Amino acid sequence: MRKLSIQDLDLSEQRVFLRVDFNVPIKDGQVTDATRIEAALPTIRYAVERHAKVILASHLGRPKGQRRPELSLAPVAEKLSALLGQSVLFMPDCVGDDVKAAVHALNGGEVALLENLRFHPGEEKNDETFSRQLAALAGLYGNDAFATAHRAHASTVGITRFVRQAAAGLLMQRELEYLSRALNPDHPYVLILGGAKVSDKIPVIQNLLTLADTILIGGAMAYTFLKARGQDVGASLVEDDQLDLARRLLAEAQERGVDLELPVDHVIARLEDEAGSAQVVTGDIPAGFAGVDIGPRTVDRYRSRILSARLVVWNGPMGIFERPPFDHGTVAIARAVADCPGTTIIGGGDSVAAVRQAGVADRLTHVSTGGGATLEFLAGVELPGVAALTDKG
Ligand code: AMP
């Protein structure tokens, strides 16, 4: 990587500001899913073991620049302390004289967590004064919050101008290393795209159309492509304003010799009686019915392509997987990806939830922690939070 890594920094007895992603679900003052906290532990432990004075910072939810007690990171400090097996000093704010004094009093190996960055409007505005206030807490900076690297905020971009060195944390490095393979791929390269909207994934398709050998499309976005090809899609979710673009993408795939596959059969249901009316159809979808999942023949076709890939990248579910039995297609694709002997990379919140639901997350090469950041990376956009890190000398 051309950017400094936390492993390049001399951390001993130094204050390091670590931007992490602790944007976790909290209910009744308890963290209900600690996955994101766990993902940052290797970097935190690395810094603690090297006797750094560790200052952790994150956003939580969307307080829009206001102090909102229900979006306090205090429950996270408690959870982190239990996971780390050492006490975590929780700061009631993220800037100001009191916080500065408290973090300056830290000893090597101690850990502090700042209050929600987004309680201050300067965070999302990437405000210079706020960035300088954050930078006043530490001379060194590490960013492990890959999921927010597509946002130019004070804690991801602004602060980096006012610290001595800004480096990627271990999780950030891992994300960049694996996701880079999607842009410098081994072949055959199979890209699987699903989810609700074509419009969200267009930049990804455009960027990867030159690299992928096969693109397998599922989820609601398949219906926009099928309609663009002249097929009846009944009451399925379609983005009519994307039909022209879908036609162009289909034509471009053909010109480039990319095997762009659309579902050949569908699980369909009447919207007013989803489960009761569910059935499988091949080809056209009758009026009044919506496609809610890919059908079994599609699963077989997609599975055989996935199994012979050397690289699989997957973003977006194949159907309304949150509502079983419409999760069958997504679960079957998750299993196929897990069975693929090549490199397998999953990105995006819903696909990650789906591979967990299928119980195969630990059989994949890389499960990305990013949603929007992963999509932007795959679209070939330079992430501001990565660009802002110090170049390797
Ligand atoms: P995205 O955020 O674009 O990855 O979309 C994920 C959402 O797409 C999930 O909530 C799915 O329920 C939804 N989805 C997938 N397939 C369909 C479908 N055939 N019809 C309606 N929604 C779908």
H/E element, 112 = strand 111-113
Ligand 1 atom having least distance to the Cα of 200:
3
- Residue appearing with tokens 């800037």: 95
- Most informative mutation of 225, 320, 321, 327 for ligand 1 (most atoms within 8 A of CB): 320
What is the maximum alpha-carbon separation in the chain? 69
Whole-angstrom CA distances from 73 to 48, 59, 286 are 20, 8, 50
Does 263 sit in the ligand 1 pocket, CB within 6 Å? Answer: no
Q: Does 349 participate in catalysis according to the annotation? A: yes
pLDDT at 227 over 90: yes
* 178-378 has the same fold as 6-171: yes
Task: Retrieve residue 304's tokens.
Answer: 């055989």
State if residue 195 touches ligand 1 by the CB under 6 angstroms criterion.
Answer: yes
Cβ(154)–Cβ(126) below 8 Å: yes
pLDDT value at 221 more than 80 = yes
For residue 24, report the distance from its CA to the centre of ligand 1, in Å. Answer: 22
Query: Which pTM value belongs to this model?
Result: 0.92
Question: For ligand 1, what atom is nearest to the CA of residue 317?
Answer: 15
- Interval 363-377 mean pLDDT: 93
Token pair, residue 365, equals: 């090469």
Instruction: Indicate the domain borders of the chain.
Output: 6-171, 178-378
Q: How confident is the model at residue 1 (pLDDT cuts 50, 70, 90)?
A: low
pLDDT of residue 393: 80
pLDDT at residue 341, as a whole number: 97
pLDDT at 159 over 80: yes
Each residue's pLDDT tens digit, 82-94: 999 999 999 999 9
Q: Hey, what CATH topology would domain 178-378 get?
A: Rossmann fold (3.40.50)
- Which pLDDT tens digit goes with each residue over 269-324? 997 776 678 899 999 999 999 999 999 999 999 999 999 999 999 999 999 999 99
Task: Please give the share of the chain, as a percent, with pLDDT higher than 90.
Answer: 91
Q: What percent of the chain has pLDDT over 70?
A: 99
Superfamily name and number for 6-171: Phosphoglycerate kinase, N-terminal domain (3.40.50.1260)
291 Cα nearest atom in ligand 1:
19
181 is catalytic: no
- For the stretch 180-215, pLDDT in tens is 999 999 999 999 999 998 888 999 999 999 999 999
